[in-house]
């Protein structure tokens, strides 16, 4: 079997920045075990698979815009929501399949999502907002992070609010403690010291099977509502402080969050198996 594959860096202002995602268009769905093996072989934070065929349980959508069924796999598991691989998939469809479209719709495990063309060659994703709620901090996890923590919150991920950007940039967590946790991942965030950036973050995976994700769009659907409440404004800029780094522009709109960023295409090839 031969399949097309694209690798696109999402939330990237230049080469070798942002989060690389593999995008693999399919005519029909393969067995889930094969999808998981392909994602493991690609060995990126996420591989996105999509088809033009929608499942029978897909809700109504706007017939004026192209619609696809989209799924995301880490090397270990299928996930319910992924930002950077959604942005990468939309970029590939906009450029290669629907160059005249201004919106792409995706049916996913998180319902309908859409991606619009934004200004200056950016793409804007419409995601569900997930404000994190306060929760008790586990002292063992705090010790594994190795930095002072002001608050602990919980949404899809555990969210720890740190004292400073410097603490987040310099931290070296104990993955032996984090990796076995029964939570998708851990977000550590703090206010930014840099003009033009409101908050910074890093994301460490547990059940998702990813040690550190370069730029995590779905984490921003959790921390953007938090920082919007703290800072008193709905338009925010987040910077993820991984080794590659990446910038996510956030607009909190009630129960939705618009996440936008640039992208860079890296490769196109053929998978044979």
The residue among 96, 100, 104, 94 whose CA lies nearest residue 67 is 104
8 A C-beta contact, residue 9 and residue 18: yes
**8 A C-beta contact, residue 200 and residue 219:** no
- Determine the straight-line distance between the first and last CA of the chain, rounded to whole angstroms: 5
> What is the Cα 4 distance to its own chain's centre?
22
Is residue 130 annotated as a catalytic residue, yes or no?
no
Q: What is the CA radius of gyration of the chain?
A: 18
CA 142: distance to chain centroid? 24
Q: Distance (Å, rounded) from C-alpha 38 to C-alpha 73?
A: 9
Q: Which of 17, 40, 41, 46 is catalytic?
A: 46
Residue located via tokens 């290669």: 96
Distances (CA, A) of 117 to 18, 46, 104, 113, 214: 18, 22, 9, 14, 23
Catalytic residues: 46
């Amino acid at each position: 079997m031969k399949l097309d594959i694209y690798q696109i860096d999402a939330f990237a202002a230049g080469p070798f920045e942002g989060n690389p995602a593999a995008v693999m268009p399919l005519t029909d769905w393969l067995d889930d075990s094969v999808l998981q093996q392909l994602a493991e072989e690609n060995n990126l934070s996420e591989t996105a698979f999509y088809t033009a065929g929608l499942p029978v349980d897909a809700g109504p959508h706007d017939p004026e815009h192209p619609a696809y069924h989209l799924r995301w796999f880490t090397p270990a598991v299928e996930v319910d929501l992924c930002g950077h691989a959604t942005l990468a998939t939309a970029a590939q469809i906009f450029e290669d399949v629907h160059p005249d479209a201004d919106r792409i719709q995706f049916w996913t495990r998180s319902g309908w999502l859409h991606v619009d063309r934004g200004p200056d060659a950016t793409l804007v994703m419409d995601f569900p907002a997930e404000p994190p709620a306060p929760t008790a901090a586990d002292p063992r996890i705090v010790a594994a992070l190795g930095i002072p923590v002001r608050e602990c919150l919980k949404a899809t991920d555990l969210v720890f609010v740190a004292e400073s950007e410097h603490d987040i940039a310099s931290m070296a967590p104990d993955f032996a403690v984090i990796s076995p946790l029964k939570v998708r991942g851990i977000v550590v965030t703090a206010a930014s010291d840099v003009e033009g950036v409101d908050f910074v973050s890093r994301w460490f995976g547990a059940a998702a099977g990813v040690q550190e994700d370069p730029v995590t769009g779905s984490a921003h659907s959790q921390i953007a509502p938090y920082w919007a409440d703290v800072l008193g404004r709905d338009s925010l800029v987040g910077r993820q402080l991984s080794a590659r780094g990446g910038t996510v522009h956030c607009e909190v709109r009630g129960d939705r969050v618009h996440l936008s960023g640039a992208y860079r295409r890296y490769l196109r090839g053929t998978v044979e198996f």
